Amino acid sequence: MTGTGLARWGLPAALACLVAACGSQPPATGGTGPAGDAAASPAAVRPAADPASATPSASRTPTAAARPLAGITVGIDPGHNGLNGTDPSYINQMIWNGRESETCDTTGTQTAGGYTEARFNFNVARFLRAALLADGARVVMTRENNDGVGPCVDRRARILDDSGARVAIDIHADGGPTWGRGFTVLEPVADGPNDHVLRASERFGADVRSALLAGTNMPVSDYYGSNGVEFRNDLAGLNLTTVPKVLIESGNMTNATDAALLASPRFQRRLAAALLAAILAFLHN
């Protein structure tokens, strides 16, 4: 994908609406979860009861050209969960990640002002989900809300593996050194279950990297990975994947500049738009 990734797809209505900041808050999930959502018309992405949680509008008559993801399943894993910290015995249990044992999950990081990674991850996932649905996709998410605990990271991988997804994205933000800035795309290393999706995952990772550079003002990380990319063999979500997948560390929550972006609904919309552009590029190249 080139630096013109967003324009390349002619800004489908769902993506254009994200960039234009249709609605100021993430949309309601409308029953999102491991069971997934059937492809729906834009009208099916309903606003939440709370006006502040209005769904991005995408009022148009669906056509084949306007629904480039019709019939395609996409998986989203918003990392962590809002109440993980309330149940340490659950999130600290050990699971097998394909190579070694790791904890079920963690609480994630947060900004100096207390804006949590779990909340950020879920907000971006909801923006992305609404745009994917508007473009005809079936969407499977690993959690329904930000008010629960878990699921464990191995279970998240299985949910997406069993979903029939053609591609999946794990959404996170990092807690690096306070001086460090930028995003990193984490990619899988061969360990058996993921062997046949390594090349596709690397291609998708390149699409994600290009789309973030083209569609957001978050730079590549200056403290982690190499030019915005890092290969990891110690994460269940990547080790156990059987669908093309990467994990995006969207920025550094402990850095004041990155934190201001990550907590901003405007940036969250732009990130979701960039991820949508990357998914479109990956699936249609």
Supply the residues annotated as catalytic: 249
At residue 25, the 3 state secondary structure works out as: coil
The residue whose two tokens read 């990891």 is: 232
- Region label for 251, one of left (φ > 0), alpha (ψ between -120 and 50) or beta (otherwise): left
Residue type, 202: E
The residue whose two tokens read 């460090």 is: 180
Residue 49 has, within 13 A of its CA and on its CB side, a CA count of 0
Find the length of the chain. Answer: 285
- Residue 226 near residue 146 (C-beta atoms within 8 A): no
Residue type, 42: P
Tokens of 39: 């492809």
Alpha-carbon span 24 to 19, nearest angstrom: 11
Alpha-carbon span 164 to 196, nearest angstrom: 15
